[in-house]
Amino acid sequence: MKFETPAGANPIDAMKVIGQAVDRVDGKLKTTGQAPYAYEHKDVPGKPAYGYVIGAGIAKGRVASMNTAEAKRMPGVLAVVSAENAQPLGKGQMNTAKLLGGPEVDHYHQALAVVVAESFEQARSAANAVRIEYERGSGRFDLAKAKPGAQPLTGNDADTHTGDFEGAFAAAPVQLDQTYTTPDQNHAMMEPFATIAWWEGDALSVWTSNQMIAWNKKELAATFKMPPEKVHVRSPYVGGGFGGKLFLRADAVMAALGAKACGRPVKIALPRPFMVNNATHRPATIQRVRIGTTKEGRITAIGHESWSGDLPGGGPEVATQQTRLLYAGANRLTAMRLAELDLPEANAMRAPGEAPGMMVLEIAIDETAEKLGMDPVEFRVLNDTQVDPEHPERPFSQRNFVRCLQEGAARFGWSRRKAKPGQVREGRWLIGMGVASAFRNNINMTSAARVRLAGDGVVTVETDMTDIGTGSYTIIAQTAAEMMGLPVEKVRVKLGDSSFPASAGSGGQWGANSSTSGVYAACVKLREAVAQRLGMDPATAEFIDGEVRAGNRSASLAEAAKSGEIVAEEAMQWGDLAKKFQQSTFGAHFVEAAVDSYTGETRVRRMLAVCAAGRILNPKTARSQVIGAMTMGVGGALMEELAVDRRFGFFVNHDLAGYEVPVHADIPHQEVIFLDEADDKVSPMKAKGVGELGLCGVGAAVANAVYNATGVRVRDYPITLDKYLAKLPAIA
């Protein structure tokens, strides 16, 4: 099925199940510990052995020698596999560095070997007995130093120019020109990278923790130079990913190598330091924003430039993309530069691009409003646009940005905010309010599903879509239930298996809308088959309360399948509506912060997010997505930063003791409002993603609240005491 024209009325519009706050259908399994995660599966052929990965102790250079003799003699050891004795490996398209290094070392903690033993403790002990000598090379570990040599990009990441930015900016009566920085950050998901792998002849099977099943089946096949049909990937439950588990990682490759060497299943879970230095991270950025306006506050020139770094062959943090679309202005410039660094691989982390980009842009917008003497909400409203500013002939499919700002301001009590900072005190606390826009593009991905109707009237959905804690099981069950006229209890959902039809997978805020659209397409086909089996006209048949009705006839769904199961499979593909209409999601974040005037301690007191993201498929799971994103945004604003050892090229705070993330005590009252929308240009579900929108802009809203409380502007994230304590207002 191809989505080529705006969606008309369809069965989803009934919203008897879709749009309702249905409890997670997998909730009981997770809360009782019955949902098995990658490391816990017992459905393997034989007793698993344990693997322990040895990571490079340098960031750049080569392995001069590796002595494994002592390790091989230790109790329980079954194999030691390294580049010296492993089969020749390929490299998937989505990996920047090789997942098995040696003799060349590309980054710190790059996997160099795996020790396999009967127990985890034996494997770890033997790994510590492997002696590696290195020839250390010269590495590049400092983005600021590498910035002058950073290179422009091509293709979709090339510079953009509209009008005469430089001329318009120079002529603007009100100007802002500021530089900001965001740090390297880590996904810090709870479940580690983990895999159980085994071979049956020349076929490879893995239980793994991964967000994108089809991608990783293909990448494993490329790595082991084997046909994709010989690879079976399963990941039914994932304990968090945030983009860190989009791609094939070393746990899966090293487990497969270990399993081949010892002839039995091998299980590997990467230790927390490997999650930081061996896997991917959000790269640091240096961003310059220039905004020129009229005296009345209309933007006449807006420019956003960003510098980031990655390993050779990697890509940039696309921090300027929201600036191309969020605000009006005839004269525009965006530019990105990429520096080569020898730090661990930089790649996608929740809301790549917009998350760090909005952290910067939305401070700059507030700073411009202050120069103008305008209220920050009014300034944003004044510069709204209903068309793509770079291509005015191209309207937005739906844009309720102004409603988000205005309804949020009313709900939050924005009118009580004092424009002059540092004016509100409660005892020793300085109180401030901040606002920031939220923006994230909508992306659709081809997604397929298989649906089965059994003789008991139960519908089973099969798709390789994953649930990374987002509620995929539930919204997919709701979609099938709505389409087939059933309660959710009569739908079974099977996910995360590469033997199922390939879905969109979980990432980029595309998962919910795309995967449910694939289920919609399969259910359309199933409805036709059911109606035909019952001798009814598929065009007029209605599916209501477990029955099929057409004209004066009715029959139960179970009756249709009494002579045998009915199976339908279909994919949702996408036409060019996304080219005709800019598809984006919008929102507004409001934050109240308190800063201790004596110690500088910052406390976020309350938060509000207003989101316009098409039809909300399940407001309960969607709210969970947004409040989780808001929490991540507080971390990004106030504490999250990977500390780079610029001498030796690694992230020093590579565990959850040193890499700080928000805990319950850090998070105040959170409120989420979803605007009532249905965007017919994006899919038959009329939905868009919301999980990453909830993060975009939060950091800036916190930063703007801290400024409003104290009068101290911090432009380098995170906003830590050392950056503002000495500048706080005098106590007396």
3-state SS, residue 543: strand
For residues 424 and 431, the answer to whether their CB atoms sit within 8 Å is: yes
3-state SS, residue 300: strand
Q: How many CB atoms lie within 10 A of CB 34?
A: 9
pLDDT at residue 113 is higher than 80: yes
Catalytic site residue from 370, 569, 677, 692: 692
Tokens standing for 69?
């003799």
> Scanning the structure block, which residue is given the tokens 């700080």?
660
Q: 458 and 437, same structural domain? A: no
Q: 505 and 467, same structural domain? A: yes
Give percent of the chain above pLDDT 90. Answer: 99
pTM, full prediction: 0.98
E strand residue ranges, 504-565 = 542-544, 547-550, 553-556
The answer to the question of residue 137 being in a domain is no
Domains of the chain: total? 2
Q: 719 and 708, same structural domain? A: yes
pLDDT at residue 210 is higher than 80: yes
Contacts (Cβ under 8 Å, ≥6 apart) of 100: 82, 83, 86, 89, 111, 112, 250, 253, 254, 257
Nearest to 7 by CA among 541, 513, 708, 674: 513
The answer to the question of residue 184 being in a domain is no
- What confidence tier does 730 reach under pLDDT thresholds 50, 70, 90? confident
pLDDT tens, position by position, 378-387 = 999 999 999 9
Could you say which of 578, 611, 645 is where a domain stops? 578
Nearest to 18 by CA among 546, 624, 685, 512: 685
Determine the average pLDDT of the residues in 475-483: 98
The answer to the question of residue 432 being in a domain is yes
3-state SS, residue 179: strand
Q: 612 and 500, same structural domain? A: no
pLDDT at residue 233 is higher than 70: yes
- What confidence tier does 718 reach under pLDDT thresholds 50, 70, 90? very high
Q: Share the mean pLDDT of the chain.
A: 97
The answer to the question of residue 71 being in a domain is no
The answer to the question of residue 112 being in a domain is no
pLDDT tens, position by position, 65-111 = 999 999 999 999 999 999 999 999 999 999 999 999 999 999 999 99
Rounded Cα distance between 100 and 110, Å, is 7
Give percent of the chain above pLDDT 70. Answer: 100
Q: 430 and 454, same structural domain? A: no
Q: Within its chain, how far is the Cα of 421 from the centroid? A: 34
Q: 702 and 654, same structural domain? A: yes
Nearest to 109 by CA among 718, 609, 645: 645
The three-point CA angle 505-503-618 to 5° equals 70
Longest Cα–Cα distance in the chain: 86
Q: 700 and 590, same structural domain? A: yes
pLDDT tens, position by position, 564-589 = 999 999 999 999 999 999 999 999 99
Instruction: Quote the pLDDT of residue 544.
Output: 97
DSSP 19-48: TS-PPPTTHHHHHTT-S--GGG---SSSPP
Q: Is the dihedral of CA 312, 313, 317, 321 positive or negative?
A: positive
- What confidence tier does 350 reach under pLDDT thresholds 50, 70, 90? very high
Q: 451 and 436, same structural domain? A: no
Instruction: Quote the pLDDT of residue 732.
Output: 63
The answer to the question of residue 49 being in a domain is no
Instruction: State the residue range of the domain holding 685.
Output: 353-442+583-727
Instruction: Quote the pLDDT of residue 731.
Output: 81
The answer to the question of residue 520 being in a domain is yes
Q: 714 and 588, same structural domain? A: yes
Q: 715 and 590, same structural domain? A: yes
Phi, psi of 459 (to 5 degrees): -105, 130
Q: 382 and 505, same structural domain? A: no
Instruction: Quote the pLDDT of residue 411.
Output: 98
Is there a cis peptide before residue 718, judged by omega within 30 degrees of 0?
Answer: yes
Catalytic status, residue 692: yes
Give the end-to-end CA distance of the chain in Å, rounded to a whole number: 70
Q: 496 and 414, same structural domain? A: no
The answer to the question of residue 540 being in a domain is yes
pLDDT tens, position by position, 160-204 = 999 999 999 999 999 999 999 999 999 999 999 999 999 999 999
Could you say which of 563, 578, 593 is where a domain stops? 578
Q: For position 460, which CATH number holds?
A: 3.30.365.10
Backbone angle region of 375, left / alpha / beta, with phi > 0 → left and psi within -120 to 50 → alpha: beta
Contacts (Cβ under 8 Å, ≥6 apart) of 723: 714, 716
Rounded Cα distance between 651 and 629, Å, is 24
Could you say which of 553, 578, 603 is where a domain stops? 578
For residues 309 and 183, the answer to whether their CB atoms sit within 8 Å is: no
User: How many residues in the chain?
Assistant: 732
